[in-house]
Amino acid sequence: MNRKGILTAWSDDRGFGFITPAAGGERVFAHVSSYAGRDRPVSGRKVVYTVAEDPQGRPRAGSFKYARTAWLSVFMVPGFWFAGALVLAFFALLTNLSDRGYLPVSILAAYGGVSLVLFLVYGLDKRAAIRGTQRTAENTLHLFEVCCGWPGALLAQQVFRHKTRKGSYQFVFWLAVLANLGALGWLLFAPEAMNWRQQLGLDGPGIRSFFTH
């Protein structure tokens, strides 16, 4: 059940603070990992929150955000529109390459399928972070990102506001994106990858035409 309160005693450097309930009572601990808003939390703002328990059974904010509509706040985030445009452009490119015979439909399906799975995994990991339960290892997320799932991860980061403020994670994430795109380009167009293309069934008419002109 959502409750209302005011975020007080927030320490941005340490990533936590307390929520003073609007209905009165003891303050509730709030950690930045439970924040579901678009910007960094700021002390003194009105918030809506849920109450959960940490592993020691102590009350804490399960999730909290500024007092406004949750999905509206997602669409107000500039990063959401950037992620959506990038993912849309990427899949439009893959579709175009497939239509021209440069890319088998199986590759397009792989990107779509793995992206969907990873989008759901991000959502579950965000919920686990809020509840203080078992998390998905970051290396596992990065592995899925390299293996064609980065478009889903990019969207999930903005929709769930998950992993967006951790600089080290974002650095590895974009390395995973570059690694995936580099591997895809090499596999489809590098002369040295001809044997791999034949073994994987990627020697379609578009690819053969590319190398004979």
pLDDT digits (tens, 9 = 90+) for 10-28: 888 888 999 999 888 889 9
Q: Per residue in 33-71, pLDDT tens? A: 888 876 678 788 888 889 988 878 888 998 888 876 545
* 74-114: pLDDT as tens digits: 555 667 888 999 999 999 999 998 888 778 888 899 999 99
Q: Which of 70, 97, 112 is the last residue of a domain?
A: 70
Give percent of the chain above pLDDT 90: 35
Whether residues 115 and 195 share a domain: the answer is yes
Q: Is the pLDDT of residue 1 over 80?
A: no
Q: Compute the mean pLDDT over every residue in the chain, rounded to the nearest whole number.
A: 84
CATH number assigned to the domain comprising residue 44: 2.40.50.140
Token pair belonging to 44: 């003194």
Count of beta carbons in the 10 Å neighbourhood of residue 49: 24
pLDDT for res 81: 85
Q: Which residues pair with 18 in a beta bridge?
A: 8, 29
Sorted by sequence, the CB contacts under 8 Å of residue 140 that are 6+ apart come out as none
| Residues 204, 102 within the same domain | yes
Amino acid type, 99: D
Both tokens of residue 186? 């090499």
Q: If you average pLDDT over residues 136-145, what whole number do you get? A: 96
Residues 119 and 202 in one domain: yes
Q: Are residues 196 and 168 in the same domain?
A: yes
CA angle 2, 33, 143 (to 5 degrees): 125
Confidence at residue 76, expressed as pLDDT on a 0 to 100 scale? 55
Examine the fold and report which residue of 52, 70, 88 is the final residue of a domain before the chain moves on: 70
Per-residue pLDDT band for 73 (boundaries 50, 70, 90) equals low
Dihedral angle over CA of 175, 158, 168, 122, nearest 10: -90
> Considering only 134-138, 167-171, 199-203, 209-213, which range has the smallest mean pLDDT?
209-213
Are residues 160 and 116 part of one domain?
A: yes
What are all long-range contacts of 208-211, with beta carbons under 8 Å and residues at least 24 apart?
209/101, 210/102
Containing H/E element for 8?
strand 3-11
- 65: closest CA among 31, 32, 36, 33? 36
Number of independent structural domains in the chain: 2
- pLDDT at position 187, please? 84
Bridge partners (DSSP) of residue 59 are: 53
Tokens representing 70? 């949750």
Domain boundary among 70, 102, 122: 70
Domain enclosing residue 205, as ranges = 77-211
